[in-house]
Amino acid sequence: MKKPLVMVTGAAGFVGSHLAERLLNEGFSVVGVDNLCTGRMRNLKSFENHPDFEFVKADPSDGLPDEYSKRNWSWVFHFASPASPPKYFGMPIETLQINSEGTRHLLELCRKTGAKFFFASTSEVYGDPLVHPQPESYWGNVNPIGVRSIYDEAKRYGEAITYAYHRTHGVDVRVIRIFNTYGPRMDPEDGRVVTNLMFQALRNQPLTIYGDGTQTRSFQYVSDLIEGIVRLMGVDHSEPVNLGNPSEFTILEFANKVRSLIPTRSDTVYRPLPSDDPKQRKPEISLAKRILGWEPVVDLERGLALTLEYFKTNED
């Protein structure tokens, strides 16, 4: 029996590689698409020779080969995009393009082939929230021309065009809003708080805190995210779904957890808070609990220990 065929864009990225691997284990044939602007081939190492995996170096922003519309796609998962501030600040136009033109090309593919479309959105669509925690019904507080708009508004547009195709052409869609996620295969230089503080501690460098450290984040281990994605595939729900860990920590509390895990001589240094940086971030996940029977199972201490084990053996 022929296995169902799926496409995963951003397959060499942190989350995309975990998703591709899980889908292979679930019995799908996977075509991984990535232009490697932020993805890393090393993330594919554990499954790159799998008989049901095919890697294509390409950028969906440039369109897709005609031959793709002749293949019998079951799902198209759009996870390609720079996702950390240093990365999307360095590639502002590319970030906007992959979430606009890239999304449109992939939705067109789904319209032509009848595939289901799965869009990886982000908690950043809520901006610097005035509602806490953030439910899916919250419209957000986003600066449309601020420095972070290249990512925030790109994802908001990605959601908008996804629902335009859903309403106009009947494309079956799923949309997740991903809150801070961490784990093995993260890029050590991605500039996120987890990698920044863990690698600074490992290297006995000063731990950098932006602002006064009282801003909050919620940290989700990658296996919990992937489990939520797979469960959403199995239900008929087209509206956005938050996937994140509702356990909330200040950045200073997180830094102390890193110190307790990694013996370090590092001091703490404070830097100005970046423009439009969210002051608080916590997902409201009652919808995911209700329709998916899902909630995170990996606590921060366990997840950080697993991540540290990976970093120690895979540091560049």
Active site residues: 151
Is cis: bond before 133, omega within 30 of 0?
yes
The two tokens of residue 225 are: 């995210």
CB atoms within 10 A of CB 227: 19
What is the C-alpha to C-alpha distance for residues 67 and 310, in angstroms, rounded to an integer?
38
Supply the angle between the helices 222-233 and 14-25 in degrees, to the nearest 10. Answer: 50
What is the C-alpha to C-alpha distance for residues 211 and 298, in angstroms, rounded to an integer?
28
DSSP code at position 8: E
The two tokens of residue 269 are: 């240094």
Three-state DSSP at 297 gives: coil
Contact 18, 120 (CB under 8 A): no
Phi/psi at 73 (nearest 5 deg)? -75, 140
Scan for tokens 């013996």, then name that residue: 263
User: Whose CA is closest to 225, among 58, 17, 9?
Assistant: 17
What is the C-alpha to C-alpha distance for residues 263 and 193, in angstroms, rounded to an integer?
18
End-to-end CA distance of the chain: 41
Supply the angle between the helices 101-113 and 149-169 in degrees, to the nearest 10. Answer: 20
What is the C-alpha to C-alpha distance for residues 274 and 295, in angstroms, rounded to an integer?
31
User: Whose CA is closest to 76, among 196, 174, 200?
Assistant: 174
